[in-house]
Amino acid sequence: MDDMPFFLRGDKMNYSELKERIFSEIEKYREELTALNDNIADNPEISGEEYETSKKIVKLLQSHGYQVEYPFAGRDTAFKGIYGENQHKHKVAILTEYDALPEIGHACGHCLSGSISILAGLATKEMQDELDTDIHIIGTPVEETDGAKCQMAEDGVFDGYDMAIMVHLYNTSLLTPKLQGLAAYMYCFHGKAAHASAAPWEGQNAFNAAQLMFHAVDMLRQHSTPDAQFHGIIRNGGEAPNIVPEEVTAEFYIRALDKHYLKKLIDKVDDCAAGAAIATQTTWEKYPTAAIYDNMKPNPTGAAALAEIYDELGIEVNGDHDKIFGSSDAGNVSFACPGFHPCLQIVDENIPIHTREFAEAMKSERAHQGLVVGAKIITLQIAKIFSDEEKLNAMKADFAEK
Protein backbone atom coordinates (compact mmCIF):
# COMPACT_ATOMS: atom_id res chain seq x y z
CA MET A 1 0.00 0.00 0.00
CA ASP A 2 2.83 2.43 0.80
CA ASP A 3 4.02 2.17 -2.80
CA MET A 4 0.64 3.24 -4.19
CA PRO A 5 0.37 6.78 -5.62
CA PHE A 6 -1.04 9.28 -3.13
CA PHE A 7 -4.10 9.97 -5.30
CA LEU A 8 -5.16 6.30 -4.99
CA ARG A 9 -4.50 5.97 -1.25
CA GLY A 10 -7.21 8.39 -0.16
CA ASP A 11 -5.02 9.93 2.56
CA LYS A 12 -3.32 13.31 2.79
CA MET A 13 -0.20 14.05 0.79
CA ASN A 14 2.98 14.66 2.73
CA TYR A 15 5.27 17.55 1.82
CA SER A 16 7.39 15.48 -0.58
CA GLU A 17 4.30 14.36 -2.46
CA LEU A 18 2.95 17.90 -2.55
CA LYS A 19 6.27 19.06 -3.92
CA GLU A 20 6.23 16.42 -6.65
CA ARG A 21 2.68 17.35 -7.66
CA ILE A 22 3.46 21.09 -7.63
CA PHE A 23 6.51 20.69 -9.87
CA SER A 24 4.40 18.70 -12.32
CA GLU A 25 1.74 21.42 -12.37
CA ILE A 26 4.31 24.15 -12.88
CA GLU A 27 5.64 22.36 -15.97
CA LYS A 28 2.08 22.11 -17.30
CA TYR A 29 1.65 25.89 -17.35
CA ARG A 30 5.27 26.92 -17.88
CA GLU A 31 5.09 27.66 -21.60
CA GLU A 32 1.90 29.69 -21.30
CA LEU A 33 3.32 31.89 -18.54
CA THR A 34 6.61 32.34 -20.37
CA ALA A 35 4.60 33.77 -23.26
CA LEU A 36 2.68 36.04 -20.87
CA ASN A 37 5.91 37.37 -19.38
CA ASP A 38 7.41 38.11 -22.77
CA ASN A 39 4.25 39.82 -23.97
CA ILE A 40 4.05 42.07 -20.89
CA ALA A 41 7.77 42.85 -21.20
CA ASP A 42 7.23 43.93 -24.82
CA ASN A 43 4.21 46.08 -23.93
CA PRO A 44 5.02 47.89 -20.66
CA GLU A 45 2.34 50.02 -19.01
CA ILE A 46 3.26 52.47 -16.27
CA SER A 47 1.67 52.62 -12.82
CA GLY A 48 -2.06 53.32 -12.96
CA GLU A 49 -2.25 52.60 -16.69
CA GLU A 50 -1.95 48.79 -16.65
CA TYR A 51 -5.22 48.39 -18.57
CA GLU A 52 -4.18 45.99 -21.31
CA THR A 53 -1.82 44.10 -19.02
CA SER A 54 -4.47 43.47 -16.40
CA LYS A 55 -6.97 42.43 -19.09
CA LYS A 56 -4.50 39.84 -20.41
CA ILE A 57 -3.96 38.38 -16.95
CA VAL A 58 -7.66 38.32 -16.12
CA LYS A 59 -8.49 36.64 -19.43
CA LEU A 60 -5.84 33.98 -18.76
CA LEU A 61 -7.19 33.28 -15.27
CA GLN A 62 -10.75 33.04 -16.54
CA SER A 63 -9.64 30.58 -19.21
CA HIS A 64 -8.46 28.31 -16.39
CA GLY A 65 -11.72 28.43 -14.45
CA TYR A 66 -11.11 31.34 -12.09
CA GLN A 67 -13.86 33.64 -10.93
CA VAL A 68 -12.29 37.10 -11.22
CA GLU A 69 -13.43 40.31 -9.60
CA TYR A 70 -12.21 43.06 -11.93
CA PRO A 71 -11.89 45.94 -11.24
CA PHE A 72 -11.15 45.28 -7.58
CA ALA A 73 -10.67 47.29 -4.37
CA GLY A 74 -11.40 50.61 -6.03
CA ARG A 75 -8.64 50.24 -8.63
CA ASP A 76 -9.47 49.90 -12.33
CA THR A 77 -6.46 47.68 -12.98
CA ALA A 78 -6.60 45.54 -9.81
CA PHE A 79 -8.24 42.12 -9.62
CA LYS A 80 -8.90 39.15 -7.36
CA GLY A 81 -8.94 35.62 -8.78
CA ILE A 82 -10.62 32.76 -6.91
CA TYR A 83 -10.68 29.12 -7.99
CA GLY A 84 -13.30 26.76 -6.58
CA GLU A 85 -15.83 27.21 -3.80
CA ASN A 86 -13.70 29.44 -1.56
CA GLN A 87 -14.79 27.58 1.60
CA HIS A 88 -11.54 26.26 3.06
CA LYS A 89 -10.22 26.82 6.56
CA HIS A 90 -7.22 28.96 5.56
CA LYS A 91 -6.60 31.67 2.97
CA VAL A 92 -3.45 32.71 1.11
CA ALA A 93 -2.97 35.77 -1.10
CA ILE A 94 -0.47 35.52 -3.94
CA LEU A 95 0.44 39.15 -4.67
CA THR A 96 0.81 40.00 -8.35
CA GLU A 97 2.61 43.09 -9.65
CA TYR A 98 2.70 44.18 -13.31
CA ASP A 99 3.31 47.94 -13.59
CA ALA A 100 6.32 49.32 -15.46
CA LEU A 101 8.56 52.35 -15.03
CA PRO A 102 8.43 55.44 -17.28
CA GLU A 103 10.87 55.32 -20.20
CA ILE A 104 12.72 52.16 -19.08
CA GLY A 105 9.86 49.64 -19.05
CA HIS A 106 10.00 46.60 -16.79
CA ALA A 107 13.29 47.59 -15.18
CA CYS A 108 11.96 46.40 -11.82
CA GLY A 109 10.99 43.02 -13.29
CA HIS A 110 7.26 43.18 -12.62
CA CYS A 111 6.47 41.44 -15.92
CA LEU A 112 8.34 38.42 -14.58
CA SER A 113 7.35 38.61 -10.92
CA GLY A 114 3.70 38.96 -11.93
CA SER A 115 3.98 35.94 -14.23
CA ILE A 116 5.67 34.00 -11.40
CA SER A 117 2.68 34.73 -9.16
CA ILE A 118 0.17 33.60 -11.80
CA LEU A 119 2.16 30.42 -12.44
CA ALA A 120 2.26 29.70 -8.70
CA GLY A 121 -1.50 30.20 -8.43
CA LEU A 122 -2.25 27.89 -11.35
CA ALA A 123 0.12 25.25 -9.99
CA THR A 124 -1.65 25.12 -6.61
CA LYS A 125 -5.30 25.59 -7.61
CA GLU A 126 -6.05 21.86 -7.56
CA MET A 127 -4.38 21.40 -4.17
CA GLN A 128 -6.63 23.69 -2.17
CA ASP A 129 -8.63 20.75 -0.77
CA GLU A 130 -5.44 18.93 0.17
CA LEU A 131 -4.14 21.96 2.10
CA ASP A 132 -7.59 23.10 3.27
CA THR A 133 -6.51 26.50 1.97
CA ASP A 134 -8.06 28.91 -0.52
CA ILE A 135 -5.28 30.36 -2.68
CA HIS A 136 -6.29 33.70 -4.16
CA ILE A 137 -4.40 35.63 -6.83
CA ILE A 138 -4.54 39.34 -6.06
CA GLY A 139 -3.59 41.81 -8.77
CA THR A 140 -1.83 44.73 -7.06
CA PRO A 141 -0.97 47.49 -9.55
CA VAL A 142 0.72 50.89 -9.06
CA GLU A 143 3.60 49.56 -6.92
CA GLU A 144 6.05 52.05 -8.36
CA THR A 145 4.09 55.18 -7.42
CA ASP A 146 1.04 55.18 -5.16
CA GLY A 147 1.22 51.57 -3.92
CA ALA A 148 -2.18 49.92 -4.38
CA LYS A 149 -1.36 47.46 -1.59
CA CYS A 150 -1.19 50.36 0.88
CA GLN A 151 -4.82 51.33 0.34
CA MET A 152 -5.87 47.69 0.09
CA ALA A 153 -4.26 46.96 3.47
CA GLU A 154 -5.84 50.06 5.00
CA ASP A 155 -9.25 49.01 3.66
CA GLY A 156 -8.92 45.54 5.23
CA VAL A 157 -8.49 43.56 2.00
CA PHE A 158 -5.82 41.34 3.57
CA ASP A 159 -7.28 41.06 7.07
CA GLY A 160 -8.81 37.63 6.46
CA TYR A 161 -5.66 36.04 5.05
CA ASP A 162 -3.30 33.70 6.88
CA MET A 163 -0.39 34.58 4.59
CA ALA A 164 0.55 36.74 1.61
CA ILE A 165 3.55 36.17 -0.63
CA MET A 166 5.26 37.24 -3.85
CA VAL A 167 8.78 36.99 -5.30
CA HIS A 168 10.78 40.04 -6.35
CA LEU A 169 13.51 39.84 -8.97
CA TYR A 170 16.93 41.23 -8.13
CA ASN A 171 20.67 40.99 -8.81
CA THR A 172 21.20 38.76 -5.75
CA SER A 173 19.04 36.25 -3.89
CA LEU A 174 17.60 37.21 -0.51
CA LEU A 175 15.20 35.58 1.94
CA THR A 176 14.10 38.78 3.68
CA PRO A 177 15.13 42.01 1.93
CA LYS A 178 15.37 45.01 4.24
CA LEU A 179 12.46 47.24 3.26
CA GLN A 180 12.29 50.82 4.47
CA GLY A 181 9.12 52.65 5.30
CA LEU A 182 8.58 55.52 2.87
CA ALA A 183 6.55 58.73 3.05
CA ALA A 184 6.27 61.16 0.12
CA TYR A 185 5.05 64.74 0.49
CA MET A 186 4.88 67.94 -1.52
CA TYR A 187 5.71 70.98 0.61
CA CYS A 188 4.19 74.18 -0.81
CA PHE A 189 5.48 77.60 0.25
CA HIS A 190 3.44 80.74 -0.38
CA GLY A 191 5.07 84.16 -0.45
CA LYS A 192 4.44 87.47 -2.15
CA ALA A 193 5.68 88.59 -5.55
CA ALA A 194 7.58 91.86 -5.97
CA HIS A 195 10.16 93.39 -8.29
CA ALA A 196 13.43 91.85 -7.21
CA SER A 197 15.37 95.07 -7.87
CA ALA A 198 12.96 97.99 -7.55
CA ALA A 199 11.12 96.86 -4.41
CA PRO A 200 12.37 93.53 -3.01
CA TRP A 201 11.26 94.62 0.47
CA GLU A 202 7.67 94.32 -0.71
CA GLY A 203 8.15 90.60 -1.40
CA GLN A 204 8.18 87.43 0.65
CA ASN A 205 10.49 84.89 -0.96
CA ALA A 206 8.97 81.39 -1.19
CA PHE A 207 12.17 80.06 -2.78
CA ASN A 208 14.18 81.19 0.24
CA ALA A 209 11.73 79.26 2.42
CA ALA A 210 12.23 76.09 0.38
CA GLN A 211 16.01 76.61 0.36
CA LEU A 212 16.03 77.05 4.13
CA MET A 213 13.94 73.90 4.54
CA PHE A 214 16.56 71.92 2.58
CA HIS A 215 19.30 73.23 4.86
CA ALA A 216 17.24 72.33 7.94
CA VAL A 217 16.61 68.80 6.68
CA ASP A 218 20.33 68.41 5.96
CA MET A 219 21.03 69.38 9.58
CA LEU A 220 18.38 66.89 10.72
CA ARG A 221 20.29 64.02 9.07
CA GLN A 222 23.14 64.08 11.60
CA HIS A 223 20.69 63.59 14.46
CA SER A 224 18.73 60.73 12.87
CA THR A 225 19.49 57.01 13.05
CA PRO A 226 21.69 55.64 10.22
CA ASP A 227 18.74 54.02 8.41
CA ALA A 228 16.92 57.35 8.06
CA GLN A 229 17.04 58.91 4.60
CA PHE A 230 15.73 62.17 3.16
CA HIS A 231 15.53 62.95 -0.57
CA GLY A 232 14.18 66.23 -1.92
CA ILE A 233 13.82 68.18 -5.15
CA ILE A 234 12.42 71.58 -6.11
CA ARG A 235 9.39 71.07 -8.33
CA ASN A 236 9.02 74.75 -9.25
CA GLY A 237 11.34 77.51 -8.17
CA GLY A 238 9.80 80.73 -9.46
CA GLU A 239 8.98 82.47 -12.72
CA ALA A 240 11.89 84.83 -13.45
CA PRO A 241 15.02 86.10 -11.66
CA ASN A 242 13.64 89.63 -11.39
CA ILE A 243 10.45 88.49 -9.64
CA VAL A 244 10.52 87.52 -5.97
CA PRO A 245 9.25 83.89 -6.08
CA GLU A 246 5.66 83.75 -4.87
CA GLU A 247 4.92 80.01 -5.08
CA VAL A 248 7.55 77.28 -4.68
CA THR A 249 7.03 73.56 -4.12
CA ALA A 250 9.51 70.97 -2.88
CA GLU A 251 8.89 67.21 -2.94
CA PHE A 252 10.47 65.07 -0.24
CA TYR A 253 10.80 61.34 0.34
CA ILE A 254 11.37 60.32 3.96
CA ARG A 255 12.51 56.78 4.78
CA ALA A 256 13.21 54.67 7.86
CA LEU A 257 13.35 50.97 8.75
CA ASP A 258 10.62 51.24 11.38
CA LYS A 259 7.15 52.59 10.58
CA HIS A 260 6.83 54.21 14.05
CA TYR A 261 10.16 56.01 13.74
CA LEU A 262 9.15 57.10 10.24
CA LYS A 263 6.17 58.95 11.69
CA LYS A 264 8.49 60.81 14.10
CA LEU A 265 10.74 61.79 11.19
CA ILE A 266 7.75 63.14 9.25
CA ASP A 267 6.96 65.42 12.20
CA LYS A 268 10.58 66.60 12.29
CA VAL A 269 10.57 67.40 8.57
CA ASP A 270 7.31 69.30 9.07
CA ASP A 271 9.08 71.33 11.74
CA CYS A 272 11.81 72.15 9.21
CA ALA A 273 9.16 73.48 6.84
CA ALA A 274 7.43 75.45 9.60
CA GLY A 275 10.70 76.98 10.80
CA ALA A 276 11.67 77.95 7.26
CA ALA A 277 8.32 79.64 6.74
CA ILE A 278 8.64 81.61 9.99
CA ALA A 279 12.15 82.77 9.10
CA THR A 280 11.07 83.99 5.65
CA GLN A 281 7.62 85.32 6.63
CA THR A 282 5.93 82.93 4.22
CA THR A 283 3.29 80.28 4.79
CA TRP A 284 3.39 76.57 4.01
CA GLU A 285 1.21 73.51 3.53
CA LYS A 286 1.80 69.94 2.43
CA TYR A 287 -0.01 67.09 0.77
CA PRO A 288 0.99 63.45 0.18
CA THR A 289 2.14 62.46 -3.30
CA ALA A 290 1.81 58.73 -2.54
CA ALA A 291 0.59 56.43 0.20
CA ILE A 292 2.95 55.74 3.09
CA TYR A 293 4.89 52.49 2.58
CA ASP A 294 5.56 50.47 5.74
CA ASN A 295 8.67 48.45 6.50
CA MET A 296 8.43 44.64 6.29
CA LYS A 297 7.30 43.02 9.52
CA PRO A 298 9.70 40.17 10.43
CA ASN A 299 8.40 36.62 10.63
CA PRO A 300 11.16 34.20 11.74
CA THR A 301 9.11 31.04 11.14
CA GLY A 302 8.28 32.01 7.57
CA ALA A 303 11.84 33.13 6.92
CA ALA A 304 13.17 29.78 8.19
CA ALA A 305 10.78 27.96 5.85
CA LEU A 306 12.06 30.05 2.94
CA ALA A 307 15.64 29.19 3.90
CA GLU A 308 14.77 25.49 3.71
CA ILE A 309 13.16 26.00 0.31
CA TYR A 310 16.12 27.91 -1.11
CA ASP A 311 18.36 25.09 0.09
CA GLU A 312 16.08 22.47 -1.47
CA LEU A 313 16.11 24.32 -4.79
CA GLY A 314 19.85 24.89 -4.72
CA ILE A 315 19.51 28.69 -4.64
CA GLU A 316 22.56 30.40 -3.18
CA VAL A 317 21.49 33.14 -0.75
CA ASN A 318 24.23 35.51 -1.85
CA GLY A 319 22.70 38.90 -1.02
CA ASP A 320 23.45 41.14 1.95
CA HIS A 321 20.47 41.05 4.32
CA ASP A 322 21.83 44.06 6.21
CA LYS A 323 21.86 46.23 3.10
CA ILE A 324 18.80 48.43 2.53
CA PHE A 325 16.77 47.08 -0.38
CA GLY A 326 14.45 50.06 -0.84
CA SER A 327 10.72 50.41 -0.24
CA SER A 328 7.66 48.43 -1.32
CA ASP A 329 3.97 48.46 -0.52
CA ALA A 330 4.36 44.75 0.29
CA GLY A 331 5.47 46.03 3.69
CA ASN A 332 1.95 47.31 4.39
CA VAL A 333 0.54 43.85 3.71
CA SER A 334 2.92 42.32 6.26
CA PHE A 335 1.19 44.29 9.04
CA ALA A 336 -2.21 42.91 7.99
CA CYS A 337 -1.16 39.24 7.76
CA PRO A 338 2.14 37.33 7.67
CA GLY A 339 3.81 38.60 4.50
CA PHE A 340 6.84 37.45 2.51
CA HIS A 341 8.81 39.19 -0.22
CA PRO A 342 11.88 37.04 -1.02
CA CYS A 343 14.20 38.04 -3.86
CA LEU A 344 15.52 35.85 -6.66
CA GLN A 345 18.64 36.65 -8.67
CA ILE A 346 18.08 36.65 -12.42
CA VAL A 347 20.94 38.93 -13.55
CA ASP A 348 24.61 39.36 -12.66
CA GLU A 349 25.36 41.38 -9.53
CA ASN A 350 26.69 44.31 -11.55
CA ILE A 351 23.23 44.93 -13.07
CA PRO A 352 21.03 46.80 -10.57
CA ILE A 353 17.27 47.10 -10.76
CA HIS A 354 15.70 50.19 -12.34
CA THR A 355 18.18 50.16 -15.21
CA ARG A 356 17.71 49.55 -18.93
CA GLU A 357 20.00 46.53 -18.64
CA PHE A 358 17.68 44.95 -16.06
CA ALA A 359 14.66 45.55 -18.31
CA GLU A 360 16.48 43.99 -21.27
CA ALA A 361 17.10 40.83 -19.23
CA MET A 362 13.40 40.11 -18.70
CA LYS A 363 13.10 37.85 -21.76
CA SER A 364 16.44 36.09 -21.35
CA GLU A 365 16.80 32.35 -20.83
CA ARG A 366 17.86 33.10 -17.26
CA ALA A 367 14.62 35.02 -16.72
CA HIS A 368 12.60 32.15 -18.17
CA GLN A 369 14.32 29.77 -15.76
CA GLY A 370 13.62 32.27 -12.98
CA LEU A 371 9.92 32.07 -13.82
CA VAL A 372 9.89 28.41 -12.83
CA VAL A 373 12.17 28.81 -9.82
CA GLY A 374 10.17 31.77 -8.51
CA ALA A 375 6.91 29.83 -8.82
CA LYS A 376 8.51 26.96 -6.92
CA ILE A 377 9.50 29.32 -4.09
CA ILE A 378 5.92 30.56 -3.67
CA THR A 379 4.24 27.18 -4.02
CA LEU A 380 6.65 25.37 -1.71
CA GLN A 381 6.25 28.07 0.94
CA ILE A 382 2.49 27.53 0.79
CA ALA A 383 2.88 23.73 0.87
CA LYS A 384 5.46 23.77 3.67
CA ILE A 385 3.44 26.08 5.95
CA PHE A 386 -0.09 24.85 5.33
CA SER A 387 0.70 21.14 5.41
CA ASP A 388 2.25 21.54 8.87
CA GLU A 389 -0.04 22.76 11.65
CA GLU A 390 2.92 23.41 13.93
CA LYS A 391 4.62 25.68 11.38
CA LEU A 392 1.35 27.44 10.63
CA ASN A 393 0.70 28.19 14.31
CA ALA A 394 4.30 29.36 14.81
CA MET A 395 4.02 31.70 11.82
CA LYS A 396 0.82 33.17 13.26
CA ALA A 397 2.45 33.55 16.68
CA ASP A 398 5.35 35.45 15.08
CA PHE A 399 2.88 37.76 13.37
CA ALA A 400 1.01 38.40 16.62
CA GLU A 401 4.16 39.71 18.31
CA LYS A 402 4.53 43.50 18.32
**Mean pLDDT value across residues 386-393:** 97
402 confidence band (pLDDT: 50, 70, 90): confident
Report the Cα 86 to chain-centroid distance in Å. 26
Average pLDDT in the chain: 95
CA-closest candidate to residue 118, choices 92, 90, 138, 147: 138
pLDDT (0 to 100) of residue 121:
98
pLDDT surpasses 80 at 243: yes
Size of the chain in residues:
402
CA 157 to chain centre: 15
**Domains and their CATH numbers in the chain:** 15-179+295-400 (3.40.630.10), 181-293 (3.30.70.360)
Say what the pTM is. Answer: 0.90
Q: Model confidence over 322-359: pLDDT tens digits?
A: 999 989 999 999 999 999 999 999 999 999 999 999 99
Within 8 A by CB and 6+ apart from 72, the residues are: 78, 79, 80, 138, 139
The per-residue pLDDT for 146 is: 87
3-state SS track over the chain: CCCCCHHHHCCCCCHHHHHHHHHHHHHHHHHHHHHHHHHHHHCCCECCCCHHHHHHHHHHHHHCCCEEECCECCECCCEEEECCCCCCCEEEEEEECCCEECCCECCCCHHHHHHHHHHHHHHHHHHHHHHCEEEEEEECCCCCCCCHHHHHHHCCCCCCCCEEECCEEECCCECCCEECEEEEEEEEEECECCECCCCHHHCECHHHHHHHHHHHHHHHHCCCCCCCEEEEEEEECCCCCCECCCEEEEEEEEEECCHHHHHHHHHHHHHHHHHHHHHHCCEEEEEECCCCECCCCCCHHHHHHHHHHHHHCCCCCCCCCCCEEECCCHHHHCCCCCEECCEEECCCCCCCCCCHHHHHHHHCHHHHHHHHHHHHHHHHHHHHHHCCHHHHHHHHHHHHCC
Dihedral sign (CA 364, 370, 375, 378): negative
Q: Encode pLDDT of 4-56 as tens digits.
A: 444 444 567 899 999 999 999 999 999 999 999 999 999 999 999 999 999 99
Residues 84 and 157: beta-carbon distance below 8 Å: no
Query: Are the CB atoms for 374 and 167 separated by under 8 Å?
Result: yes
Residue type at 373 in one-letter notation: V
Strands 229-236 and 247-256, by their bridges, are antiparallel
Query: What whole-number distance in Å separates Cα of residue 136 and Cα of residue 197?
Result: 65
Rounded to an integer, the average pLDDT of 97-116 is 98
Question: How far is it, in rounded angstroms, from Cα 110 to Cα 41?
Answer: 9
Q: In three state form, how does the secondary structure of 331-346 look?
A: HHHCCCCCEECCEEEC
- 187 with 210: CB under 8 angstroms? yes
Confidence of residue 126 (pLDDT cuts 50, 70, 90): very high
* Mean pLDDT (whole number) for 311-330: 95
Cα–Cα distance for residue pair 271/213, rounded to 1 Å = 9
pLDDT score, position 1: 40
Mean pLDDT of all residues in 283-312: 97
Model pLDDT, residue 10:
52
Mean predicted confidence (pLDDT) in 94-115: 98
Q: What is the pLDDT of residue 7?
A: 41
**What's the rounded Cα separation, in Å, for the pair 144 and 57?**
19
Instruction: Find, among 64, 95, 19, the residue nearest to 342 by Cα.
Output: 95
Tens digit of pLDDT for each residue in 251-276?
A: 999 999 999 999 999 999 999 999 99
Distance CA 136, CA 160 (A): 12
Q: What are the backbone angles phi and psi of residue 256, rounded to the nearest 5°?
A: -160, 160
Q: What is the mean pLDDT of residues 237-246?
A: 95
| Residue scoring higher pLDDT (2 or 140) | 140
